[in-house]
Amino acid sequence: MQSSKESMSAGRSWTRRRDEKARRLQNAQRFTVGNRIPTNRIVEALEVLLAPGDRVVLEGNNQKQASFLSMALSQVDAGKVNKLHMIMSSISRREHLDIFEKGIAEKIDFSYAGTQSLRVAQMLEDGILKMGEIHTYLELFGRLFIDLIPNVALIAADKADDAGNLYTGPNTEETPAIVEATAFKDGIVIAQVNELTDELPRVDIPGSWIDFVVVADKPYQLEALFTRDPRHITELQILMAMMTIRGIYERHNVQSLNHGIGYNTSAIELLLPTYGEQLGLRGKICKYWALNPHPTLIPAIESGWVESVHCFGGEVGMEQYVAARPDVFFTGRDGSLRSNRALSQVAGQYAVDLFIGSTLQMDGDGNSSTVTAGRLSGFGGAPNMGHDPRGRRHSTPAWLDMMTADDPLARGKKLVVQMVETFQAGNAPVFVESLDAIQVGRDAKLATTPVMIYGDDVTHVVTEEGIAYLYKAQSLEERRQAIAAIAGVTPIGLQHDPRLTESLRRDGLVALPEDLGIRRTEARRSLLAAKSVDDLVEWSGGLYQPPAKFRSW
């Protein structure tokens, strides 16, 4: 007589996913040659390898896009492939949304929308697209191993060999996380490559994790998203950078950090070899970095400020420079960068003293978001790095400096800095009474408001007016007053009583440039270590090769 446990297991298949994968692979044999899909048969192959309702993770991040595969996906017959649940780090190409209009896909989980953010919002309003959640990068990668396990992964790599081993080059990015979540749960992994070769510079993804390789009709899309031309850095941004170096980096002894993308942080990088040197700070601050290889970091590297950089991804034109500086960057024996978006996000979350970024809107409590009216942009990795990780247990001088209580159980805090000018382009105020994200969240039927960084995580706010040291505030009202004091003539700034500014300065909650020993007239472009892309090339000894659009010669 069978036991109850035996009867429960009787007749149950424990290999349904594996069996379904085998069935699809068998059906695809008429289009494939071993592990190869001919370039001109990719659409037909996808129509067999994909099934209605599949979860499909499509590689597309800040820089590297599986552009050949995304175009092919947009061309499949919606009568055969439909109702896909798409999982994408970045919605950044037109066909990423075309598949929803064609009925090929119906639901999306993503982290960042960027240039497609307006269209995402409109498609949600029109009912063309169903929203899952807006994630941080680490959150999205994590869910691939829990409740968003992919049926199919569409990825991009530089090269493949006969065995299907992949070389991803400087832009490994999120490829390992995507592939592992799919391959080890009997999903199908399809890799587009720029070329097939007999021998790879190194193996980044083993061929046993890959089901099919297809040579793309042209190289995958790669953007220089972290390059900022020093010619466009303003004197206002230089002033803010000086305040940040003097009033935050020096004051708190910040040695490990992440810089967000933008001209504000580029200005900081270009002031380290000049203003930072004047202050005698080399070797004391800004030694260890988690960020892409920003060209504006070259002068600081060359002048001995930077000890190490771990990268989320590469940057177009920086390949030769990175290969020539292995003491600074993480590179393979072949000399090329080994980036990893997931691991660098973890490093940026737990291992650095400080995150500094920017935002489009901030309310009076310090809550901020890049999701604004009619624009569902998401926020990428900022929430991963822009919060105080409660699991942290190692201490650094900067982390300990955030302790405000004399208690044996007191703990430090990560520095989370928001660096913003009080008005955006178009004279739109950054400091607002209510975030647009509240209404956007309601319209999109999101369970929670899409806040990028919550106010209680923010330790400092920097504007052209000064610095608010929010970690020192003894009450929510005091935090509000400190923010308002440096919010200029925005709706929040106009609520501030100027008579309170003096007491806030005395108590150390607010510092104006003058309090930091900075004269506003000192903020001149002459302080920048490089004033053009040409200067950056010269600093690199000709190793940096910027894309044509950044060349002024």
CATH number at residue 45: 3.40.1080.10
Last residue of a domain, one of 167, 193, 222: 222
- Strand ranges in 79-168 using DSSP code E only, listed in sequence order: 84-90, 105-112, 130-134, 152-160, 166-167
pLDDT at res. 6? 66
Average pLDDT over residues 8-13: 75
My answer on whether 239 and 178 are in the same domain is: no
Between CA 418 and CA 453 the distance in angstroms is 9
My answer on whether 178 and 29 are in the same domain is: yes
pLDDT at res. 4? 62
CATH number at residue 244: 3.40.1080
CA distances from 411 to 188, 212, 379, 387, 476 (A): 46, 50, 28, 15, 20
- The answer to whether residue 193 is domain-embedded is yes
pLDDT in tens, 272-286: 999 999 999 999 999
My answer on whether 313 and 218 are in the same domain is: no
Q: SS in 3 state form for 359-412?
A: CCEECCCCCEECCECCECCECCCHHHHCCCCCCCCCCCHHHHCCCCCCCCCCCC
Least confident of 49-53, 423-427, 430-434, 475-479: 423-427
My answer on whether 184 and 269 are in the same domain is: no
- The answer to whether residue 341 is domain-embedded is yes
My answer on whether 297 and 426 are in the same domain is: yes
Strand-pairing partners, residue 195, are 159
- 437, pLDDT greater than 80: yes
pLDDT at res. 193? 98
Last residue of a domain, one of 187, 222, 257: 222
pLDDT at res. 70? 98
- pLDDT averaged over the chain? 94
In sequence order, the 6+-apart residues with CB closer than 8 A to the CB of 491 are 429, 431, 432, 433
Between CA 308 and CA 105 the distance in angstroms is 42
- The answer to whether residue 539 is domain-embedded is no
My answer on whether 81 and 146 are in the same domain is: yes
Strand-pairing partners, residue 415, are 354
| 403 touches 228 (CB < 8 A) | no
User: Where does the pLDDT of residue 379 fall: very low under 50, low under 70, confident under 90, or very high at 90 and above?
Assistant: confident
In sequence order, the 6+-apart residues with CB closer than 8 A to the CB of 127 are none
Across 223-232, 352-361, 368-377, 401-410, the highest mean pLDDT is recorded for: 352-361
pLDDT at res. 100? 98
My answer on whether 180 and 255 are in the same domain is: no
Average pLDDT over residues 20-44: 96
My answer on whether 348 and 213 are in the same domain is: no
Both structure tokens of 394: 């190692």
Range of the domain at 297: 230-533
Other beta carbons within 10 Å of 8? 10
My answer on whether 234 and 160 are in the same domain is: no
Structural domain count, the chain:
2
Amino acid identity for residue 155 in this structure:
I
Average pLDDT over residues 192-221: 96
- The answer to whether residue 119 is domain-embedded is yes
pLDDT at res. 2? 59
Q: What is the pTM of this model?
A: 0.94
- The answer to whether residue 544 is domain-embedded is no
pLDDT at res. 523? 97
pLDDT at res. 1? 52
- 138, pLDDT greater than 70: yes
My answer on whether 381 and 445 are in the same domain is: yes
- The answer to whether residue 78 is domain-embedded is yes
My answer on whether 140 and 62 are in the same domain is: yes
- 406, pLDDT greater than 90: no
Amino acid identity for residue 94 in this structure:
R
Average pLDDT over residues 390-402: 96
My answer on whether 188 and 234 are in the same domain is: no
- The answer to whether residue 466 is domain-embedded is yes
- The answer to whether residue 7 is domain-embedded is no
**pLDDT > 70 in the chain, percent:** 98
Q: At what angle do helices 16-27 and 42-49 cross, to 10 degrees?
A: 150
